[in-house]
């Protein structure tokens, strides 16, 4: 028999937990399935200094534990598990079916999707080992910790160019490593990079290895045309080669853009199906911050509450 509930939240993290707090306080008795990475991307971040309410900063895992505890205090049923199949209805007021871990069936009046997006990394062993120890995928999140230091940015698109120019205002020197002999970034962004004195762009260059045992001490770069290797002493490595939204489960079911981000209507969190809402990085490719994700989590819960209210 399917478990019948008012509000199902798929995915944890700032968006999911904030949605849970608001939904629980609205007496919607939300059930959350956290996914395999409880707390989401932020649990891979060691220090969080830009989230309001933490004057001395915190670390990502501790912050997610705080949000989880707050959601549970108001009655959220937080469960470890992963949605593996969805059967969403296109009829207003009809329940949406979700299968969890290929066995548990849930029927929910409303569904809030907060499955997030995963940063793309190079995949080399030394990079993976030093994530949180100087390797980052978010300059806005972590750039402050490298004030006055030398860093590397890997990437060639608009995101990489934006991250490099952002870091150039904080760091002594920024070296961009571009795999091809040209940048994919828009002309305007390329001009901005080229006009910034403390940014150096190395073309046809890739990371061979990130140097350092516990923290980043440099990178060994390789010219993919000549094979020449160079060691660049830096304390931070920012990987800016894009993000992949975690939306495989919803392909062919919910409207998404050409890169897989869920499309929401206007300033709401409503998807193209009634009673299904999306919050956080799964629908936001512009800002990707914990505080903006939390904001849309609040919006999704309010949208869900109003949807149920209109049915009653």
Active-site residue, from 27, 101, 141, 281: 141
Inter-residue contact 238 to 151 (CB < 8 Å) = yes
Beta strands in 11-103 (DSSP E): 31-33, 77-79, 83-87, 96-100
Catalytic site includes residue 142: yes
Q: Catalytic residue among 49, 66, 90, 138, which? A: 138
**What is the spatial distance between Cα 253 and Cα 265, in angstroms, rounded to a whole number?**
16
Check 142, 281, 284, 303 and give the catalytic one: 142
Strands 173-177 and 77-79: unpaired
Q: Which of 147, 208, 153 is nearest to 175 (CA)?
A: 153
The span from the first CA to the last CA of the chain, in angstroms, equals 24
**78: which strand partners?**
32
Report the sign of the C-alpha dihedral through residues 159, 161, 165, 168, in that order.
positive
Count of C-beta atoms within a 10 Å radius of residue 147: 11
Task: Give Cα 39 distance to the centre of its chain.
Answer: 11
What tokens were used for 148? 């006055």
Structure tokens at 120: 């793309």
Contacts of 9 (CB under 8 A, 6+ apart): 16, 19, 20, 23, 30, 31, 32, 33, 76, 111, 112, 114
Pairing of strands 117-119, 243-245: antiparallel
What span, in angstroms and rounded, lies between the C-alpha atoms of 102 and 186?
A: 44
- Residue 7 among the catalytic residues: no
Sequence length of the chain is 312
**Residue 171: active-site member:** no
How far apart are the C-alpha atoms of 19 and 162, rounded to whole Å?
30
Separation CA 48–CA 51 (nearest Å): 7
Supply 306's token pair: 């109003």
Q: Which residues are annotated as catalytic? A: 138, 141-142
């Amino acid at each position: 028999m399917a478990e019948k509930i008012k509000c199902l939240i798929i995915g944890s993290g700032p968006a999911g937990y904030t949605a849970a707090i608001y939904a629980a306080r609205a007496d919607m008795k939300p059930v959350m399935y956290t996914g395999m990475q409880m707390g989401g991307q932020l649990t891979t971040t060691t220090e969080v200094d830009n989230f309001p309410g933490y004057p001395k900063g915190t670390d990502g895992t501790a912050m997610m534990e705080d949000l989880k505890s707050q959601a549970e205090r108001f009655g959220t049923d937080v469960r470890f598990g992963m949605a593996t199949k969805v059967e969403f209805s296109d009829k207003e007021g009809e329940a949406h079916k979700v299968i969890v871990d290929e066995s548990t069936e849930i029927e929910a009046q409303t569904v809030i999707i907060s499955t997030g997006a995963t940063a793309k990394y190079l995949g080399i062993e030394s990079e993976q080992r030093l994530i949180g120890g100087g390797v980052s995928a978010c300059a806005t999140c972590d750039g402050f910790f490298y004030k006055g230091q030398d860093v590397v940015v890997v990437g060639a698109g608009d995101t990489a160019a934006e991250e490099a120019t952002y870091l150039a205002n904080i760091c002594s020197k920024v070296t961009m490593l571009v795999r091809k002999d040209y940048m994919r970034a828009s002309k305007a962004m390329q001009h901005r990079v080229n006009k910034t004195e403390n940014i150096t762009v190395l073309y046809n260059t890739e990371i061979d290895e990130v140097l350092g045992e516990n923290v980043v001490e440099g990178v060994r770069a390789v010219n993919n045309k000549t094979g020449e290797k160079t060691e660049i002493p830096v304390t931070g490595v920012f990987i800016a080669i894009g993000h992949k939204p975690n939306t495989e489960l919803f392909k062919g079911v919910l409207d998404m853009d050409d890169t897989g981000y869920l499309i929401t209507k206007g300033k709401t969190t409503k998807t193209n199906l009634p009673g299904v809402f999306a919050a956080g990085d799964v629908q936001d490719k512009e800002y990707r911050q914990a505080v903006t994700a939390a904001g849309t989590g609040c919006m999704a819960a309010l949208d869900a509450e109003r949807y149920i209210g209109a049915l009653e």
